Amino acid sequence: MNSKFLKLINYLSEYDFNMKDNYEIYRALQEKKPLSKKSQKIIEDNITFYLFSPKKYKTNKTIIYLHGGGWTIGSVKYYSFTLDTLANELKRNIITFDYPLAPEHPYPEGIKYCYKAIKAIFKKAKEYQIDTKDIMIMGDSAGANLATSICIKAKETKDFKIKKEILLYPIVQTNFKNNKKFKSIEENGYNYFLTKKMIKDYLELYLVKKENYKSIYASPLNAKWLFNMPETLIITADLDPLRDEGYAYAKKLRRYFNQVTYYNMKNVIHGFFNNPFYFKENHHVIKIIKKFVGDKIE
């Protein structure tokens, strides 16, 4: 990555941006993103699904994608270019949806909605020619948090079974005040746009009640019984405050005899996968994902 880009990010990080007071500005800016792709809309159980299918290639293999944004910002429209690229590169259908955002819809509304939506996908799978034996789930940042939390819940309820999960720079714990366990919080929490303060703002918008901070569905790293999780790919960003907790989650999953593949991408910041400035790095990440899902690398 160009050093000038990192210098710009360092400069922007100096501003004390209050996400709690300005999240609506972020949403408005994201809705004006110039690069966007159209998708097929499907409405089931009062939920609008967006289907990104590979061009000139038919498949019944599907990845469910949950977007990031601190549970507060982000949308299918904002991620549409990335999702369209994934569909074509992986030659798989990417199905997604907009879930309720905080603070209007605090925890656990978002995860309940996502869980209901995924149950609907499995329920209608035959109708839409989706291979339920090959459904994977993928998410980035807060979306990765929701994705793995859903896998934990589904393991307990047995409502459906996810084959594999792909977690990009996941947030998997909620202690950003005095936690010295994860060095990356201090190393990268001030100069790389996603600051320690911004993360705390997101958490306070999402987790209104203090007891929610310890919930395994908000903080999956707190889960004490992680046997039989889906095969997992975790990719972290080296300049990300969340780097070390992602690695800690990979190690914990392995301790419970789960299959885990872990990569730490050097010289990239949080959110790099949805950032066009990281074209080469994202091409490499797609190769990693192709290998993980079992497809041939062209």
User: What is the residue extent of each domain of the chain?
Assistant: 3-293
Structure tokens at 90: 């992986």
User: Cα separation of 132 and 123, whole Å?
Assistant: 10
- pTM, two decimals, is 0.96
pLDDT tens across 155-176, in order? 999 999 999 999 999 999 999 9
Give the lowest-confidence range in 161-165, 255-259, 273-277, 293-297. 293-297
User: Cα separation of 73 and 79, whole Å?
Assistant: 11
Q: Which residues of 18-33 are buried (b: 16+ CB within 10 A; e: fewer)?
A: ebeeebeebbeeeeee
pLDDT tens across 123-156, in order? 999 999 999 999 999 999 999 999 999 999 999 9
Q: Can you tell me whether residue 218 is helix, strand or coil?
A: coil
CATH homologous superfamily of domain 3-293?
A: Alpha/Beta hydrolase fold, catalytic domain (3.40.50.1820)
Q: Is the Cβ–Cβ distance between 59 and 127 less than 8 Å?
A: no
Under the banding of pLDDT at 50, 70 and 90, the label for residue 1 is low
The partner residues of 264 in beta bridges, in order of sequence, read 236
Helices (H), 137-241: 142-157, 184-187, 196-206
